[in-house]
Amino acid sequence: MSLSIPWLTTKEPIVLPGSIQRYHFGDTDNHHVVDWSVISKGEVLIIFDESAMPTTGIGIRAKVLRCIEEPELSGVHCLIEGIERVHFKVSDTMPEQAHVEVIQTNTASEEDIEAVLNTLTSQFKEMLKADDQLPETLQHQTNLFEGPERKAYYILSNLTLPSEQRQAYLEELSLINQLEMLIQWVRVELKSRQINTRIINEVTTKLDDQNRRYFIKEHIQRLQQELKGTDDEAISELDALEKRLKALPLSEASQTEAFRELKRMRQMHSDSSEYNVARSWIEYLLSLPWSHYTEDSVNLKSAQSLLDTQHHGLNKPKARILEQLAVLIRKPIGGASILCFVGPPGVGKTSLGESIAHAMGRNYQRIALGGIQDEAEIRGHRRTYVGAMPGRLIKALRAAQSANPVIILDEIDKIGRDSRGDPSSALLELLDPGQNKAFVDHYIDIPFDCSQILFVCTANTVSTIPPALVDRLEIIRIPGYTRIEKLAIAQSHLLPRLYTQIGLKSDEVLIDEPIIAHLIDEYTEEAGVRNLNRTLETIHRKALRQIIEGEKTPVNIERISQITEFLGPPTSIRKQIQNALPCGMALGMAWTETGGEILYIESISFQGTGKLQLTGQLGDVMKESAAAAISVLRSRATALGIDGAVFKSHDIHLHVPEGSIPKDGPSAGITMLCALYSMLSQKQLIPRLAMSGEITLLGRILPVGGIKEKCLAAHRLGVERIILPTDNRHDVLEVPEEVRQSIHFDFVNTIDDVLKIAFNPKPNQD
């Protein structure tokens, strides 16, 4: 039989046919392996070889029972069952594969084999009897194996031989010679075990129960003398760990805990699972940057230049970052606030955190918190549990290799909670300067000083962050971008990065500014630039394909028709709001986690009994706003020229489209009122008008939030006039100048002011 299978090398004793062995392959082993998941699904060739790249020889064809990648332990653990001895040759064309053929053992006469095998079996049973620590049943196991080869493999597996001797046995092609080799090795081990038993008996007769401690030391010394230090490798490993632990800058209590674990390891067998758990813990302890701090290199002018280069606009957030850096120059420890950038997706919140790290010359790590529900993700698992791991903070510190990195806590508003605990409670300690000097991860179980870490948080909204956590944060609002800002970002940032990303030269694809503006207006309705980046990437990928297929270079994108060929027809609703709305429809503005949005509200009436029907997946507050709008109109029907009987003879249906999206809040109050009044009076609202404000039963207009985001969304879609509560006048000052110049703002106090403006074909422009 000849076949090709993947191969693995090991310096550990090679697995024998009919036996099962556990292997640990480190990061520096078997670099030819491409995918461990492929290895774990079939058969492999196990080779004992001290060279880096074997080519031909004798190994064991084996079956992989289980193979688990464990990055925290720096390698892969595999459980492997030996099948048969084979001759192998590594493939020239596929170096990760080896051709294997079964080896036919040269056998002598049955009489000779039986005679030698009987001698071997009797010697082996005598060896087992000489060891008082082995169970008696083990002496009868040899009879369970059929055939001389299987019996010989079983005996070989029970001998404590160096890997080289096992390999020598496998390379011997004569069965008689193999059995004779085993006889010699069994005799040597028999003598060794007899000496071991004699030592135990001699020492035991000299000592009583009160001197057991002395007995153990005496036993170890005699074993080292007789067996010439066969356990030197494990002892040297522990000595090396002890030396490294002594050099670790830990507190006295922490060092006591670490050396207590090391002492436990000295009392365990190196192959036991507890030994490996303890070793992994100590190695993780040694890999952490307990006292390694990077030196800050903060220059405010350089930092400002870096921020301006990497981010367009965002003047207020950048000014606050520079203030933060100024504080860190004067007071590096404990002086800085914990900034939390809040804004819609794609506006550069996470990249601002990266820029802070670059400006300070610190290492940088990002911790994604979205969807975390288990507190152990932050604090880690107790190391007594199977599969225990440190929390994400300790992992980030290990990756950063410094005790004062900049760590981005991304999407802090997306943290959940369940029966396994509340992750936000762990963050409360972590983000409190008074507590994080001794943050304890459950896996490490030793306090780590996190006071010099600069934390930066990001979120889409503050409303879902626990109040106690918000109290520890300084909220920095990141608004959406205007059309002009998006054009500048596309030309200065997105396109240069895109050329590098997909391998284009800057002169191979040329795209005109009006085309980018068309993409912004007709294909991307967003506060940030993420979808714009994806759209540009799609266009440039298609252009790159044309170049590679041999069409002309450069590809000049200068016509709208080319965009339609690349992306299909536009999906924007911009043209819809430029025309007058039908009676019964009004245009509102809403705030969401992804920025501002335009909200259409429709209403109709029909014969009925005066019922109000609300649809569009409205929240309780929004339903109350609709009820308030109906009540206001009914109470003022005569003054507004509405037939009051309609409220008893007709049912009214108010609908907010896009019913799959939940909607709530009081800010649609005046929009609902205008939609209902338009339907009842059969009057149209003036074109391209949007509004936002809460109403009361007495007709007052109350202020609402999210004005800046709402105005930016309205501006993107071509709104030319906005009605807002008078108390929101100061919020308009936060709206970019470009938007304020293109939109007329009306500020109102009562519903009379609203109706006068919204339904007047020629309203006052003052």
Query: Which residues are marked as active site?
Result: 667, 710
Across the strands, what pairs with 5? Answer: 98
**Tokens standing for residue 118:** 């009987």
Across the strands, what pairs with 601? Answer: 586
**Tokens standing for residue 144:** 């369970």
DSSP 732-752: HTTS-HHHHHHSEEEEESBHH
Task: Using the structure block, give the residue that is written with the tokens 């090679």.
Answer: 14
Task: Using the structure block, give the residue that is written with the tokens 């809460």.
Answer: 694
Helix, strand, coil percentages (3-state) for the chain, rounded to 5, are 45, 20, 35
Across the strands, what pairs with 266? Answer: none
Closest to 477 measured CA to CA, from 728, 311, 708, 724: 708
Helices (H) and strands (E) in the chain, counts: 29, 24
Collapsing DSSP to helix, strand or coil, 407 comes out as strand
**Tokens standing for residue 586:** 């009004």
**386 burial level (CB within 10 Å; 0-12, 13-18, 19+):** exposed
Torsion of CA 348, 352, 354, 355, to 10 degrees: 130
Closest to 388 measured CA to CA, from 397, 377, 396: 377
Collapsing DSSP to helix, strand or coil, 339 comes out as strand
What stretch of H or E contains 176? helix 175-206
Please check whether residue 78 is in contact with residue 91, taking contact to mean a CB–CB distance below 8 angstroms.
no
Name residues whose C-beta falls within 8 Å of residue 115's C-beta, 6 or more positions apart in sequence: none
The Cα angle at residue 319 between residues 317 and 492, in degrees rounded to 5: 70
**Tokens standing for residue 119:** 């001698």
**Tokens standing for residue 132:** 């008082």
End-to-end CA distance of the chain: 95
Strand segments, DSSP code E, in 27-158 are: 43-48, 56-70, 75-90, 97-102
Amino acid sitting at position 655:
H
CA distance 529 to 538: 14
Pairing of strands 439-440, 447-448: antiparallel
**Tokens standing for residue 186:** 């069994």
